[in-house]
Structure 1
Amino acid sequence: MPKKAKDARRNAVGPRRPIFDPEAVGAARSRIMRSIPQKDTKPEVLVRKTIHAMGFRFRLHDRNLPSRPDIVLRCHKAIIQVHGCFWHQHGCSLSSIPRTRTEYWLPKLARNVERDAANVRLLEGMGWRVLTVWECDLKEPKRIARKLKAFILSRQTLRKPSRSLSTSKRSR
């Protein structure tokens, strides 16, 4: 189409930007946000299948623990959190900051990161070992399977001072 014809059509029709009703946009955004699952996400299901295939049994979203962790292995005193890189701001290529409404998104995502850190501190303070599996880590299933198995089988508690034999009292 010649340039003059395009310009004439554009001027006749007016600007091509749609007219938005803020309430309709807000309602649509709320509907979209509600449709994003909090449980049983694809990354979480993949991690659960991997752990189950290794022979480990676990509980899901234990209500008796703070933050209702994704996967709880009680007999191993281990918790596995499966985080989406965007929602929990991992820092990889999947965790971009939205270009629109940054005044909304930046504080929201920052609160998610702060809440995650506080929950990990709380769980570790209760004696749990916590591993965070990121969505981007799941691109390499064999590597993540090794990491999960090593974490579950390790009995080391995090942030606990170790005692050396020379400083402990031994009975003779």
Structure 2
Amino acid sequence: MTAITDLTVKAADGTPADLSTYAGKVLLVVNTASKCGFTPQYEGLEALHRDYAGKGFEVLGFPCNQFGAQEPGDAAEIANFCALTYDVTFPVFAKVDVNGANADPLFVELKKQAPGFLGTEGIKWNFTKFLVGKDGQVVERYAPTTKPEDIRKDIEKLL
């Protein structure tokens, strides 16, 4: 399987961002949205980031507008919302599709490595989370309802 850290995504400004920058780290990759019932999870994601960033952990946020049009803003609006509302310091990349023909290759690989309930690959909603080990392989997939703090023990095991 392809290591997640072998892929390239788009930074918030649209330029290529090589995920090899995060090689050897534990990652939590999340499709996010600013106007979702789960949006307050930004606070928990930021807490994880602040608690473990110095220990080889990163949260990577990928805004997505595929579910109820809950991420309508452009990159500047998303960055402003994240910074002002939740003091987000973890990387938030360019808006992506996570399902369908235009799904970002990162999410194609994440879903392949960690299918959802009953083996379906499709992401059902915003704030689906993928925990990636130091080897770049997906360890676990979490539903949007899983709170970031409930993932702490799994992160600590990998660190």
Q: When the two structures are superposed, what TM-score results if normalisation uses the length of structure 1? A: 0.27
Which structure has the bigger radius of gyration? Answer: 1
More strand by share: 2
More helix by share: 1
Q: When the two structures are superposed, what TM-score results if normalisation uses the length of structure 2? A: 0.28
Name the structure, 1 or 2, with higher relative contact order (CA <8 Å, separation 6+).
2
